[in-house]
Amino acid sequence: GAVVSQHPSRVICKSGTSVKIECRSLDFQATTMFWYRQFPKQSLMLMATSNEGSKATYEQGVEKDKFLINHASLTLSTLTVTSAHPEDSSFYICSARGGSGGAQSPQYFGPGTRLLVL
């Protein structure tokens, strides 16, 4: 149980284009989803927290107009990197919290999406 999927696993795009990444909780309802960014050999950096049906809460320094987050259902959240530039190239990982433990459940992570902007 507690499986989180991400799609795509890898994407290469040209500078200036927008990229959408999907995060799905496959076997539980995720009341809260999180989006992280990870640079090589570094720990995860939280970008934003989203609750189903509400606007996402962004961490300080993260541009909400650049990284659009939608959490339209209890099993799906999307991150759209708008007008991507090479400096947006990174490993993006989502996590979901929910399941039988509710608010006391741990976060379960997706496999990550590697974004390369040329």
Q: What x/- string results for residues 45 through 84 when contact with another protein is judged by CB under 8 A? A: -x--x-x-----x---------------------------
Residues 92, 112 contacting (CB under 8 angstroms): yes
Rounded to whole angstroms, the Cα distance separating 28 from 1 reads 8
Question: Does residue number 16 form part of the binding site for another protein (CB under 8 A)?
Answer: no
Question: Does residue number 42 form part of the binding site for another protein (CB under 8 A)?
Answer: yes
CB of 91 to another protein, least distance (A): 7
Rounded to whole angstroms, the Cα distance separating 34 from 12 reads 23
DSSP at 17: -
Residue 57 or 83 having the CB closest to another protein = 57
Q: What are phi and psi of 86, to 5 degrees?
A: -50, -35
CA dihedral 48, 51, 54, 57 (to 10 degrees): -20
Instruction: Tell me which of 28, 34, 35, 58 binds another protein, using CB under 8 A.
Output: 34
List of residues contacting another protein (CB under 8 A) = 2, 4, 6, 32, 34, 42-44, 46, 49, 51, 57, 91, 93, 95, 97, 102-104, 106-112, 114
